[in-house]
Amino acid sequence: MIYGPHDYDLFYEDEDLKIGVEWRGRHFKYYRESNGEKVEKILAASGGRIIVNPVEPVNLPQKITNFLEIDFEKPVLIEPGTSVKLMVKFPVEIGVFVASKKSVEVLDIFTLTKPKYTLYGTPMSGVVCRWYSSEIYFELPETNPLKEGVMDITIKNTSNDWVEVQKAVFDGYSMKIYYGDIVGMVAEMKVIGKSVAETTFINRPIKSGLKKSLELYTARMIPVVERKGFLMEWGLK
């Protein structure tokens, strides 16, 4: 598997992706070929590591939004005062970092899926979201961890009404991604009213044996104000 830390001998190739670092006599060269795109960069470095891991899937094809919307292929109807635990898939973006003793720099970000976007809310006050559609699962589904991850969501209906949920919107700043033989996140959705809910992420792996991904905001040293979650105020379906 490509995920994890590497020396400057990184090399991986399959039918969708070719990526590596090679010595060119005076410098290293990073290269990647995927989805018809070719990227090459010169690395003037004497040591360090290359780190490859899944990152927040809200960066491509350009930085448009921090939000991810997952649409459920079947709606979930939840009784008042109860909760349900389910799983959905989400798109994976892959970050490549170059790390020295003093700092970490983003070298490349790419995806093997085709990004799609949607508007959640009204044209005047809504938010643009990276969009993905998923079936609902109650056991860990099989995935290609280079393309899809699995999100474990506990939906709690704290309202006094039956609610129908067919989508969930998440803030990318709060994502806590883990990787190994699968890519996973754990989230919670608290339904406040018939059409209002708050989504948050839980900082733990979806199963044991997974490693925490390096977050893009940390690597880029972007100050992030701690957020409690995202308030879905424009409906749940």
CA distance 64 to 55: 15
pLDDT in tens, 5-25: 998 889 999 999 999 999 887
Per-residue model confidence as pLDDT tens digits over 199-216: 999 999 999 999 999 888
Mean pLDDT (whole number) for 192-203: 94
| Residue 76 tokens, joined | 């979930």
The answer to whether 21 and 12 have CB atoms below 8 angstroms apart is no
Cα angle value 99/32/49 (rounded, 5°)? 15
Residue type, 60: L
What does the pLDDT average to over 89-97?
A: 96
Query: Where do the structural domains in the chain lie, given as residue ranges?
Result: 4-232
